[in-house]
Amino acid sequence: MRMNLDDTIAAIATPAGEGGLGVIRVSGPSAHRIAAPLFFRKGGKPGDPLESHRLYFGTLLGAAGPVDEVCVVYMRSPRSYTRQDMVEISCHGSPAVLRRALNTLLEAGARMAEPGEFTKRAFLSGRIDLSQAEGIIDLIKARSEGAARAAFGLMQGGLSQRIEAVRQKLVWTLSHLEASIDFPDEEFITATDDELRKTLTEAARRLDILIKSYDGGRFLKHGLSLAIIGKPNAGKSSLLNALLEEERAIVAEIPGTTRDLIRAEGELAGLKVELIDTAGLNPAPDEVEAEGIRRALKAAEGADAVIGLFDGARAWEESDTKVLEVLKKARLHLAVINKADMPQLIAWPDAALAPVKISVKEMRGLDQLLTKIAAFAHDAQALNHEEPVVTRARHREIFCRIAGDLRRAADEIAAGRELAAASVWDALEEIKRFTGESYTEEVLSAIFDEFCVGK
């Protein structure tokens, strides 16, 4: 990706296809010089200067005549998305019109923008830090309410503020550490070892909270995969259909109805979820069932969370023991007894694992089940809107390294303040990587290549 900020770039910012409106953005030092002569407003003439932050209605002119009736706004630097001079042109949302309008701008001297180049300029100009740029892309790509909320927080600088608070503590700690290193003989009053240790561990603890929010955050962004396992006829397919509120999987009285995995995406409790219905774990399967069971076990192993579904209307069987065993291997697991509308013959064998009781037939207990599923994905902390949630692996890795540096620094104070100071410096370097104050071209490309053209 080119880094030249002096080029004036242009791109269509709205998705391809028919639409009420389509928007073209132009950013760079020549934005006004390129765009203004192409715009003709009633009572004016082409090339009339545009006032900043004022919406104009008129005609966009191409070499071969008028292109479209448009609204145009000029945003003078630094009050724009990129902090550069920008022009935004709203045309009718026709791919043909937009292409022509864009070509007109390119012929007049703009260069086609690369993916994410507008946001990259916003970052390079210092309007946003790197994590906020990441929030913007996450927001564009958010597929559920929860993901959008987390991305919005990141874009607004929710995580940056937390990290800034940590950084200030580290700067304070460092000033005390270094004062006693630089002037060992003087009677400087610096914080005691205990005070410094306390500050460092407290900062590490704050990072732990953020790190802990990652699982919930990751699920918010990518969705939670949830496999349903159980013996034949327990009602797995019925449960999948009920949760999705559509007849996705075949339900029948005949055991062994589902033979292959059925994957379906849905939104449960504001959360993107991929549900996986599986073949019943029949202890004496035929050949096809045996393959289905292998796939079921593999799905349970690979899923983020597993529901073990038991049939309350039947006595406990060997196949239930197998289901329970597989279930408990999953880090996030939930035992559910179905068919609560029938006389209960099941004797629950595991005092340590309390099952949720439901009846899919009568739609009973499903709310409680949904609450438990939501709790899988975001513990109370991640659900709390005030708290930023970590959704990106890059952030989690950096926070883990910082927390490690700080704990090491706390341990090192007793052995020598120089040692501890070096560890705090390491932590400050990591913070710069988070904000993008120090970056490599590789990291930037990895982030901005995710963007679409026009953002």
Ligand X SMILES: Nc1nc2c(ncn2[C@@H]2O[C@H](COP(=O)(O)OP(=O)(O)OP(=O)(O)O)[C@@H](O)[C@H]2O)c(=O)[nH]1
Quote the CA–CA distance of 133 and 436 in Å, as a whole number: 10
Part in contact with ligand X (CB under 6 A); list of ranges 5-13, 161-169, 333-341, 388-396? 333-341
- With the C-alpha atoms ordered 375, 379, 384, 386, is the resulting torsion angle positive or negative? negative
Q: Does 257 bind Mg ion (CB under 5 A)?
A: yes
Which option in Mg ion, ligand X, none does residue 82 bind, with CB closer than 5 to 8 A by kind? none
Which option in Mg ion, ligand X, none does residue 83 bind, with CB closer than 5 to 8 A by kind? none
Q: Does 241 bind Mg ion (CB under 5 A)?
A: no
User: Total residues contacting ligand X (rule CB under 6 A)?
Assistant: 24
Provide the minimum distance between the beta carbon of 309 and Mg ion in the complex, in angstroms, as a whole number: 10
Structure tokens, 442: 């590789």
| Residue type, position 170, single letter | L
Q: Does 237 bind Mg ion (CB under 5 A)?
A: yes
Q: Which residue, 224, 247, 9, 259, is CA-closest to 110?
A: 9
Beta bridge partners of 22: 91
Quote the CA–CA distance of 229 and 207 in Å, as a whole number: 36
Q: Which residue, 183, 223, 252, is CA-closest to 417?
A: 183
The contact pattern for ligand X, residues 263-292, with x = CB under 6 A and - = no contact, is ----------------xx------------
| Coil/strand/helix, residue 151 | helix
Quote the CA–CA distance of 21 and 291 in Å, as a whole number: 51
Q: Which residue, 382, 410, 408, is CA-closest to 396?
A: 382
Cis preceding linkage at 78, omega within 30:
yes
Provide the minimum distance between the beta carbon of 351 and ligand X in the complex, in angstroms, as a whole number: 24
Which option in Mg ion, ligand X, none does residue 233 bind, with CB closer than 5 to 8 A by kind? ligand X
Instruction: State which residue, 245 or 253, has the beta carbon closest to Mg ion.
Output: 253
Q: Does 255 bind ligand X (CB under 6 A)?
A: yes
Instruction: State which residue, 253 or 386, has the beta carbon closest to ligand X.
Output: 253
Provide the minimum distance between the beta carbon of 145 and Mg ion in the complex, in angstroms, as a whole number: 30
Quote the CA–CA distance of 297 and 280 in Å, as a whole number: 10
Structure tokens, 284: 């004496």
Provide the minimum distance between the beta carbon of 281 and ligand X in the complex, in angstroms, as a whole number: 8
Among 236, 333, 433, 455, binds ligand X (CB under 6 A): 236
Q: Does 245 bind ligand X (CB under 6 A)?
A: no
Residues binding ligand X (CB under 6 A)? 230, 232-238, 251-253, 255-258, 279-280, 338-339, 341-342, 359-361
